[in-house]
């Protein structure tokens, strides 16, 4: 074999199709572009994100501002008025013997926690924390053990003779998420008293002494005038 006998492997090299060179060539007339339309024109390119004229994705998607914290807590919310209505209807008393409730004795508050709320159907799961909101009226004596409670809900429960207990785990997680913003900064404490500045009278006296003992400028002016007179 010699150099002029070297050839590429069969099928590895293929000649390009020459379009627009007459009908007999197989790609004449429209040159494979079809008849009319945007793609048949020279320079008629369509971007990849074009959707045929309908409202494109980047416009029909709402522009949401801000962000969501990665460590935010998703609460299951229950209104205090609904809890009171369920307690008045005895829907918590059915499970009181199983859950250790205290509804049986007269005058004792009804114990309400996440287990009681889930069995009554007010929350869907026990894995998420519960927050009690203040909508509605409270007519029953309640002992509510929850992860979070609003100020109005606490006031209504206590006004009806009940009690509220905020669980420590949820409170600690809320404090960690909120940071130490409620803590008083150490910089607010008064620092050491600044040193007293010198009295202005002493400064003025020192300045007057300096002026009395330093008249070289006037002498230099006099000597300069005398020298000019002698030169003349």
Q: What is the pLDDT of residues 17-62, one digit of tens each?
A: 899 999 888 889 999 999 999 889 988 889 999 999 999 998 998 8
- Give the per-residue pLDDT at 98: 41
Split into its structural domains, the chain has a count of: 1
pLDDT greater at residue 97 or residue 141:
141
Does residue 226 belong to any structural domain of this protein? no
- Give the per-residue pLDDT at 113: 94
Round the average pLDDT of the chain to a whole number and report it.
Answer: 78
Does residue 184 belong to any structural domain of this protein? no
Q: Are 108 and 162 in contact (CB under 8 A)?
A: no
What's the whole-number mean pLDDT along residues 92-108?
Answer: 52
Please report which helix (H) or strand (E) contains residue 228, including its range: helix 216-231
Q: What is the CATH number of the domain that holds 147?
A: 3.100.10.10
Cα end-to-end span (Å), the chain: 115
Q: Are 176 and 72 in contact (CB under 8 A)?
A: no
Does residue 150 belong to any structural domain of this protein? yes
Provide the β-strand partners of residue 23: none
pLDDT greater at residue 157 or residue 182:
157
pLDDT greater at residue 152 or residue 171:
152
Does residue 159 belong to any structural domain of this protein? yes
Neighbours of 86 (CB within 10 A): 21
Give pLDDT tens digits for 178-231: 554 444 444 445 455 556 665 555 454 544 455 555 555 555 454 444 444 444
- How many Å apart are CA 193 and CA 189, to the nearest integer? 12
Does residue 27 belong to any structural domain of this protein? no
Question: Which structural domain range is residue 167 located in?
Answer: 76-173
Please report which helix (H) or strand (E) contains residue 148, including its range: strand 148-149
- How many Å apart are CA 93 and CA 96, to the nearest integer? 5
What's the whole-number mean pLDDT along residues 69-93?
Answer: 92
Instruction: Report the predicted TM-score, pTM, of the whole model to 2 decimal places.
Output: 0.46
Q: State phi, psi for 24 to the nearest 5 degrees.
A: -65, -25
Reduced to 3 states (helix: H, G, I; strand: E, B; else coil), residue 43 is coil
pLDDT greater at residue 222 or residue 131:
131
Does residue 232 belong to any structural domain of this protein? no
Q: How confident is the model at residue 78 (pLDDT cuts 50, 70, 90)?
A: very high
What's the whole-number mean pLDDT along residues 104-123?
Answer: 85
Does residue 122 belong to any structural domain of this protein? yes
Closest CA to 20 of 33, 10, 11: 33
Longest dimension (CA), the chain: 126
The alpha helices in 54-184, defined as continuous H runs, are: 57-60, 80-88, 96-99, 114-120, 151-159, 168-178
Give me the percent of the chain exceeding a pLDDT of 90. 46
Per-residue pLDDT for 94 more than 50? no
């Amino acid at each position: 074999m010699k150099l002029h006998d070297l050839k590429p492997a069969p099928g590895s090299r293929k000649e390009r199709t020459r379009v627009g060179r007459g009908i007999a060539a197989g790609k004449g007339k429209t040159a494979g572009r079809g008849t009319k339309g945007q793609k048949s024109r020279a320079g008629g390119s369509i971007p990849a994100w074009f959707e045929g004229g309908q409202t494109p994705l980047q416009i029909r998607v709402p522009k949401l501002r801000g962000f969501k914290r990665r460590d935010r807590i998703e609460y299951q919310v229950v209104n205090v008025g609904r809890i009171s209505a369920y307690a008045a209807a005895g829907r918590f008393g059915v499970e009181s013997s199983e859950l250790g409730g205290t509804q049986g004795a007269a005058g004792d508050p009804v114990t309400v926690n996440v287990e009681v709320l889930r069995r009554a159907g007010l929350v869907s799961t026990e894995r998420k924390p519960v927050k009690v909101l203040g909508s509605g009226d409270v007519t029953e004596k309640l002992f509510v053990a929850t992860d979070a409670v609003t100020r109005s809900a606490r006031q209504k429960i206590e006004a009806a003779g009940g009690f509220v207990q905020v669980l420590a785990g949820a409170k600690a997680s809320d404090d960690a998420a909120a940071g130490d913003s409620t803590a008083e900064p150490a910089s607010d404490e008064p620092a050491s008293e600044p040193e007293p500045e010198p009295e202005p009278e002493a400064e003025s006296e020192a300045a007057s002494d300096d002026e009395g003992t330093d008249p070289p400028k006037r002498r230099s002016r006099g000597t300069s005038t005398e020298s000019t007179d002698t030169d003349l």
